[in-house]
Amino acid sequence: SDAHRSAFDSTLLHCAEAAHDTLFRDYGLYDEQRGVLESKRIEFYTAFDASDEVRSLEKEWSKCMGGAGYEVDAHWDAVGLAAGGQSVQQGHSPDISTEVRVAVADAQCRLATNFEQRYLDLFRDAESAFVFDNEALLLEVIDLRFGKLNQQ
Protein backbone atom coordinates (compact mmCIF):
# COMPACT_ATOMS: atom_id res chain seq x y z
CA SER A 1 0.00 0.00 0.00
CA ASP A 2 1.02 3.63 -0.37
CA ALA A 3 1.18 4.09 3.41
CA HIS A 4 3.58 1.16 3.80
CA ARG A 5 5.72 2.38 0.89
CA SER A 6 5.84 5.88 2.38
CA ALA A 7 6.83 4.52 5.80
CA PHE A 8 9.49 2.32 4.21
CA ASP A 9 10.88 5.24 2.16
CA SER A 10 10.96 7.44 5.26
CA THR A 11 12.78 4.75 7.27
CA LEU A 12 15.24 4.17 4.43
CA LEU A 13 15.95 7.90 4.19
CA HIS A 14 16.48 8.09 7.96
CA CYS A 15 18.92 5.16 7.81
CA ALA A 16 20.86 6.76 4.93
CA GLU A 17 21.11 10.05 6.84
CA ALA A 18 22.25 8.22 9.99
CA ALA A 19 24.89 6.35 7.98
CA HIS A 20 26.13 9.63 6.47
CA ASP A 21 26.31 11.19 9.94
CA THR A 22 28.23 8.18 11.23
CA LEU A 23 30.67 7.92 8.33
CA PHE A 24 31.25 11.52 7.24
CA ARG A 25 32.19 14.68 9.07
CA ASP A 26 30.25 16.69 6.49
CA TYR A 27 28.68 14.66 3.70
CA GLY A 28 27.58 17.72 1.73
CA LEU A 29 31.10 19.13 1.66
CA TYR A 30 32.54 15.68 0.91
CA ASP A 31 30.17 15.24 -2.04
CA GLU A 32 30.97 18.73 -3.33
CA GLN A 33 34.74 18.26 -3.10
CA ARG A 34 34.53 14.76 -4.54
CA GLY A 35 32.69 16.30 -7.50
CA VAL A 36 35.46 18.88 -7.91
CA LEU A 37 38.04 16.09 -7.81
CA GLU A 38 36.08 14.03 -10.35
CA SER A 39 35.95 17.03 -12.72
CA LYS A 40 39.70 17.49 -12.35
CA ARG A 41 40.22 13.78 -13.01
CA ILE A 42 38.20 13.95 -16.23
CA GLU A 43 40.15 17.05 -17.30
CA PHE A 44 43.38 15.17 -16.51
CA TYR A 45 42.52 12.25 -18.80
CA THR A 46 41.42 14.58 -21.60
CA ALA A 47 44.59 16.66 -21.32
CA PHE A 48 46.76 13.54 -21.08
CA ASP A 49 45.36 12.04 -24.28
CA ALA A 50 45.77 15.41 -26.04
CA SER A 51 49.34 15.97 -24.81
CA ASP A 52 52.13 16.33 -27.36
CA GLU A 53 53.91 13.27 -25.98
CA VAL A 54 50.89 10.97 -26.26
CA ARG A 55 49.96 12.38 -29.68
CA SER A 56 53.52 11.74 -30.88
CA LEU A 57 53.37 8.15 -29.63
CA GLU A 58 49.95 7.68 -31.24
CA LYS A 59 51.33 9.09 -34.51
CA GLU A 60 54.21 6.62 -34.45
CA TRP A 61 51.80 3.74 -33.80
CA SER A 62 49.42 5.07 -36.47
CA LYS A 63 52.24 5.19 -39.03
CA CYS A 64 53.02 1.54 -38.29
CA MET A 65 49.34 0.64 -38.67
CA GLY A 66 49.31 2.54 -41.98
CA GLY A 67 52.22 0.40 -43.13
CA ALA A 68 50.08 -2.64 -42.33
CA GLY A 69 47.27 -1.21 -44.46
CA TYR A 70 45.09 0.36 -41.75
CA GLU A 71 44.38 4.08 -41.52
CA VAL A 72 43.81 4.95 -37.86
CA ASP A 73 44.75 8.00 -35.82
CA ALA A 74 44.82 6.57 -32.31
CA HIS A 75 45.09 3.18 -30.68
CA TRP A 76 41.46 3.43 -29.52
CA ASP A 77 40.43 3.58 -33.18
CA ALA A 78 41.64 0.02 -33.75
CA VAL A 79 38.60 -1.27 -31.83
CA GLY A 80 36.18 0.37 -34.25
CA LEU A 81 38.28 -0.70 -37.20
CA ALA A 82 38.23 -4.30 -35.99
CA ALA A 83 34.45 -4.04 -35.81
CA GLY A 84 34.34 -3.02 -39.47
CA GLY A 85 33.96 0.64 -38.58
CA GLN A 86 30.87 -0.09 -36.50
CA SER A 87 30.44 0.53 -32.83
CA VAL A 88 30.56 -2.70 -30.87
CA GLN A 89 28.02 -1.12 -28.49
CA GLN A 90 25.56 -0.90 -31.40
CA GLY A 91 25.43 -4.68 -31.40
CA HIS A 92 27.49 -5.04 -34.58
CA SER A 93 29.21 -8.39 -34.89
CA PRO A 94 32.46 -7.89 -36.79
CA ASP A 95 33.81 -10.34 -39.33
CA ILE A 96 36.15 -12.48 -37.21
CA SER A 97 38.87 -12.53 -39.87
CA THR A 98 38.89 -8.71 -40.00
CA GLU A 99 38.97 -8.54 -36.24
CA VAL A 100 41.92 -10.95 -36.06
CA ARG A 101 43.89 -9.16 -38.81
CA VAL A 102 43.45 -5.78 -37.12
CA ALA A 103 44.34 -7.25 -33.72
CA VAL A 104 47.51 -8.82 -35.12
CA ALA A 105 48.56 -5.57 -36.82
CA ASP A 106 47.78 -3.65 -33.62
CA ALA A 107 49.83 -6.07 -31.51
CA GLN A 108 52.75 -5.94 -33.95
CA CYS A 109 52.70 -2.13 -34.00
CA ARG A 110 52.48 -1.95 -30.22
CA LEU A 111 55.55 -4.16 -30.00
CA ALA A 112 57.42 -2.28 -32.75
CA THR A 113 56.83 1.08 -31.04
CA ASN A 114 57.11 -0.20 -27.46
CA PHE A 115 53.73 1.47 -27.14
CA GLU A 116 52.54 -0.07 -23.88
CA GLN A 117 55.65 0.75 -21.87
CA ARG A 118 56.01 4.24 -23.27
CA TYR A 119 52.32 5.02 -22.73
CA LEU A 120 52.50 3.70 -19.17
CA ASP A 121 55.64 5.76 -18.47
CA LEU A 122 53.94 8.90 -19.78
CA PHE A 123 50.84 8.13 -17.75
CA ARG A 124 52.78 7.54 -14.52
CA ASP A 125 54.61 10.85 -14.93
CA ALA A 126 51.38 12.72 -15.65
CA GLU A 127 49.56 10.97 -12.82
CA SER A 128 52.33 11.84 -10.36
CA ALA A 129 52.08 15.48 -11.43
CA PHE A 130 48.29 15.34 -11.04
CA VAL A 131 48.57 13.98 -7.51
CA PHE A 132 51.21 16.57 -6.60
CA ASP A 133 49.19 19.43 -8.12
CA ASN A 134 45.99 18.30 -6.38
CA GLU A 135 47.44 17.02 -3.12
CA ALA A 136 45.46 19.39 -0.88
CA LEU A 137 42.14 18.48 -2.54
CA LEU A 138 42.93 14.75 -2.43
CA LEU A 139 43.80 14.93 1.26
CA GLU A 140 40.67 16.94 1.98
CA VAL A 141 38.44 14.41 0.24
CA ILE A 142 40.15 11.54 2.06
CA ASP A 143 39.78 13.32 5.39
CA LEU A 144 36.13 14.16 4.73
CA ARG A 145 35.48 10.53 3.81
CA PHE A 146 37.55 8.70 6.42
CA GLY A 147 38.41 11.32 9.04
CA LYS A 148 35.47 10.57 11.27
CA LEU A 149 36.19 6.85 11.15
CA ASN A 150 39.83 7.46 12.13
CA GLN A 151 38.72 9.49 15.14
CA GLN A 152 36.77 6.57 16.64
Dump pLDDT digits (tens) for 83-131: 665 444 445 555 678 888 888 999 999 999 999 999 999 999 999 999 9
- The answer to whether 148 and 25 have CB atoms below 8 angstroms apart is yes
Mean pLDDT to the nearest integer, 125-141: 96
pLDDT top residue among 81 and 28: 28
pLDDT top residue among 128 and 146: 128
What is the model's pLDDT at position 50?
95
- The answer to whether 144 and 24 have CB atoms below 8 angstroms apart is yes
Lowest-confidence segment of 32-36, 68-72, 94-98 by average pLDDT: 94-98
What is the model's pLDDT at position 94?
57
DSSP state for residue 71 in the 8-state scheme: -
